[in-house]
Amino acid sequence: MARISIPWKTYLHYKKSLNQQDKALYEAILDGMLEWKTRIPIPSSSDVDHVYDIFTMVLRDVPMLFHVSNGLRISTGFCSYVIPDYIMDEQTYKKYYASVVDFLKKCQGLLTKHEPFNKLQIIHDSIVKHVEYHNTETNNEHNVLGTILDKKAVCESIAKSYKLLCDYNLIPAIVVFGYSDANNQSVSRKGYSVSSTALEDNHAWNIVKLNGKWYNVDLTFDVTLGDFDTFTAFRYDYFLRSDRIFDLEHHASQRELLPKCSEDFNLYRKIDQYVQTTTDVVAVTKVALKKKNNRNTIIFGVDPSSELTEKNIATAVSTTCLLNGKGASSYTYNNRTGVFCVILE
């Protein structure tokens, strides 16, 4: 079979974190899967769990390996091998490859002449509006095909797709696995942690680099926060956030391999939808009500260090809406990320 060619730079974060011996194993597994090898020779002394860890690092670093499932066999003995599980043949891969590249090119058209921040936001919006969080119990829901082609996927597919679009636009991005203890999000899928001492992975998200600094991004949470059957507005609760915000409900496995996200970008502050006082709440609400493209949704960020409470925010919004001839039918407040969302009647 012909070797798979990926004609753009892929940011290989996990490979960079390895020592020389593990890099050689990583490269052997990657090259073997790019060449469709059914048996990839590895050192006979290799620990099975460690080989599996390296294998998962390869899949996280290279989202275009969607012809390989998360499962594999490792044959040990006098001659040891990694035996990948290929879920499609070469012709099928070529067909899907062309469809994925077509999607990337369409997104690229939206990104022309934009600054890195705008690119990250547009990529976020493109995927969030494009995909539905859904466990289809197929291989695709865990690779980029679930998000890009099927438009139904779980967190692993969504995170890999975000990295793929970042790779295509030369923006460093990492797929992160770990677990979430959030009680209001759809993140119940169990993953393939091989550590017996850690809680089993049940979630995936991203870390991206912007202007020399690293930030957390969780598109799956932003997808599940929005009502996209009757699309109203994008949510950015988990877009370009600090470890301080994410650590409230995200817990990365292999944390030692990941860069620190020390600063909080907070998009709502950047776009002047950020409040610190009730006067700010009234002002932001008035501006939102006057917007011609308002889709009956008002969203703004709340300064966590302010004395604002959920009750007085809701009261200020409701009163302002009524005085301007609108009614607020419901609201949600994500106190972990400091984002307040109002649905108008």
pLDDT in tens, 123-179: 999 999 889 888 777 778 899 999 999 999 999 999 999 999 999 999 999 999 999
73 phi/psi in degrees, rounded to 5 = -110, 145
pLDDT tens profile 276-326: 999 999 999 999 998 866 668 899 999 988 999 999 999 999 999 999 988
Q: ∠ at Cα 245 (244, 250), nearest 5°?
A: 100
The number of angstroms, rounded, from the C-alpha of 329 to the middle of its chain's C-alpha atoms is: 31
The number of residues in the chain equals 345
pLDDT value, residue 201 = 76
Asked if the model's pLDDT at residue 85 lies above 50, the reply is yes
Specify the pLDDT at position 248: 92
Mean pLDDT of all residues belonging to the chain: 88
Instruction: For residue range 312-327, list pLDDT tens digits in order.
Output: 999 999 999 999 988 8
Whether 115 contacts 214, CB under 8 Å? no
The answer for residues whose C-beta is within 8 angstroms of residue 344's C-beta and 6 or more apart is: 296, 297, 298, 321, 326, 327, 328, 329
Q: What value does the mean pLDDT take over residues 259-265? A: 96
Give tens-digit pLDDT for 8-51. Answer: 999 999 999 999 999 999 999 999 999 999 999 998 888 999 99
Name the band, by pLDDT with cuts 50, 70 and 90, for residue 200: low
pLDDT at 99: 96
Judged against a pLDDT cut of 50, whether residue 190 lies above it is answered with no
Hey, is 82 helix, strand or coil? strand
Do 155 and 203 form a contact (C-beta atoms < 8 A)?
A: yes
Question: How far apart (Å, rounded) are the C-alpha atoms in residues 82 and 30?
Answer: 11
For residue 196, CA distances in Å to 49, 52, 189, 295 come to 10, 13, 18, 48
